[in-house]
Amino acid sequence: MPTPHYLLDACAVIAFFDNERGADIVSGLIDSANRGEITLSMNAANLIEVYYDRIREIGSEEADDAIRNIYDDSPISIIEENSPAIVREAAYFKATGKMSFADAILVATARCTGATVVTCDHVELEPIEQQTQIPFLWIRPQF
């Protein structure tokens, strides 16, 4: 049986850093990944969103530390290069849906890797859940 694979959206990581609602779910996923029960990844495009959010919220030095911790001290695997399949899928999602570039990369990565998307972005991503076979783990209910 394959190991479950979860793909983090920027909003899930930001919720974890800021201890917002849903942070406990992300924390549990990190614990499970540390125990080898699941794999946890994030596309670099979505990590950029986390990085600029951290710069705005806590400053450049602290943002550098936060991102370094993701790379060095967490079980989160960063997908640095997008395959041709991810590029095609992201272009399709961006062209046919109302979503940000980063969210198009997110759902394309999930589709191509078979991962479950971990997010709280109901506005842009709920329609994708309804229109595709991509599984989602919502870390908090829609407001």
For the residues of 1-56, what is the DSSP string, one character each?
-PPPEEEE-HHHHHHHHTT-TTHHHHHHHHHHHHTTSSEEEEEHHHHHHHHHHHHH
| Domain residue spans of the chain | 5-138
23-46 pLDDT, tens digit each: 999 999 999 999 999 999 999 999
Pairwise CA distance, residues 5 & 115, whole Å: 5
pTM (two decimals): 0.95
Instruction: Please count the CA atoms within 13 angstroms of the CA of 41 that sit on its side-chain side.
Output: 21
Name the CATH superfamily for 5-138.
5'-nuclease (3.40.50.1010)
81-135 pLDDT, tens digit each: 999 999 999 999 999 988 999 999 999 999 999 999 999 999 889 999 999 999 9
